[in-house]
Structure 1
């Protein structure tokens, strides 16, 4: 049976077959996401949230673009392709997620406003506890119809609060109470979080490998197109409304880099079954393709639009 997982066959011993014993994944996935979110909070200070008031135009623009425009772009492109409903729903779950924890690093590499990036990642991540469950409930009906699972939006919100908001707050408090220790250990915490992110993405693909193979020719280009459009829109809209080039590059990266680990986890909360469901495949694929598109894209956008 391991051969059906292709290059991910080495995971056969740790990723159970669908319909089998999913205890490991059911425990490891939320714990891994919780640690990833803790790493986000561990790199924050309370001042990062205060920047919403210090730079209100840039911060509010970034929040609106992330929460409203990203799902709108995904929804629009989904009308142009014929994806299976479960995968289309998975694309929307991904689009509802906040920026990824690596967006701050990519913003720095692109020459964007790192302080704004940190603020947007923090604020939108906490907002997602309220926005994601409601939007997922709508998308479930819109894309799955009669096949939609019976969702308890409140239960999903509480679960997200437990595995996203609380770890962020714990990380934030840890840095506040032991700043010197946090400065020394943050690089290690970040590396562990990145390793866990890779494991989550690979496990999601391995668990749904056949579905991935059957749809990669359509799903891959669609996700890369969404990514590219978001990167361009972030810079263009920022320029139109009068933000600086550095702010625009930051918002562009925040829109293009999604928290794929959260998307995979939310897919599991929605499916209400053990293991990683097919809804998680788009987030897993995007966890790979977003770097293929974003890294060269952000340097190209910087070259075109500059940082002025």
Structure 2
């Protein structure tokens, strides 16, 4: 039975990423090339500041080793479909959000596995869960890189078909996202209740701090208001289903356990934190220079 659940989780994550890719056009990647400075700031924030703050969160809230490894795993994952939705609700730069998420997802099979391997060894030591690095890399490639590129291919070669299924696929992706997160919470509910005081506070602190730090960094580097909002959202809203899927893979037999708990809890706390920011961000509005540059 668990093998079927494991396969279902992998397929669900792949469909979620396919829904991201099928909404992308080659022009979206050209937008990144049009403003490399903006992309570089966002990339550095996502790949360095977020993991560093996750590490600080672990220390401040005294996470036990397996929760620490799980939180670091989550911090290495890129944003997801829901970060793009929040960008849209916040009147941020959706084109920038989608492009950044897509590129980070495409290269994640290179960046994520070695960082996960390091964090598990660092925090868990002799208690580290044995897993195949190559298997983790392959699964990351299959559930992130491959579906995103497949979606881009379909969009580029079968535009009308892609447009016809895009909205439906987005809805399916949201449902699958809820199923994965709910399943992870249900599977680890007793552990969650036992550790909620530490886990809950730490995972409220992290997205709030990243939202604020993301704004500060983007304004220090003179990004536009829309770009600043987008960077802050991308830095604080992570791809929880991806983290849960990889945690299940690492845990042996693909059984969702304590390693996935931080991602499951974060998938709830990050939206609680994001909600007031959405209302604040909606009062800021301007045309994005990123979008202007792409149209020139």
Give the TM-score band, short-chain normalised.
Answer: over 0.9
What secondary structure is seen at the aligned counterpart in 2 of 1:99?
coil
- Residue 83 in structure 1 maps to residue 57 in structure 2: no
User: Contact 1:86/1:278 (CA < 8 Å) preserved in 2?
Assistant: yes
User: Contact 1:89/1:279 (CA < 8 Å) preserved in 2?
Assistant: yes
In structure 1, what is the Cα distance between the partners aligned to 2:127 and 2:285? Answer: 47
More moved, 40-49 vs 193-202 = 40-49
What secondary structure is seen at the aligned counterpart in 1 of 2:81?
coil
- Residue 127 in structure 1 maps to residue 127 in structure 2: no
Q: Which position in structure 2 is the counterpart of 1:153?
A: 133
**Consecutive unaligned residues in structure 1, runs of 5 or more:** 1-20
User: Contact 1:41/1:171 (CA < 8 Å) preserved in 2?
Assistant: yes
User: Contact 2:106/2:149 (CA < 8 Å) preserved in 1?
Assistant: no
How does 1:254-273 map onto structure 2 within 5 Å?
254-273=234-253
Partner of residue 289 from structure 1, selected from 261, 265, 269: 269
**Consecutive unaligned residues in structure 2, runs of 5 or more:** 288-296
How does 1:208-219 map onto structure 2 within 5 Å?
208-219=188-199
Superposition deviation, residue 223 in structure 1: 0.8
Change (3 A) 1:198 1:292: same
Superposition deviation, residue 301 in structure 1: 5.2
- What's the C-alpha RMSD, in Å, of the aligned pairs? 1.5
Q: Which position in structure 1 is the counterpart of 2:142?
A: 162
**Count of residue correspondences:** 287
Superposition deviation, residue 172 in structure 1: 1.1
User: Contact 1:231/1:298 (CA < 8 Å) preserved in 2?
Assistant: no
TM-score, normalised with respect to structure 2: 0.93
Change (3 A) 1:77 1:307: farther
In structure 1, what is the Cα distance between the partners aligned to 2:3 and 2:33? Answer: 44
Superposition deviation, residue 302 in structure 1: 5.9
Change (3 A) 1:232 1:213: same
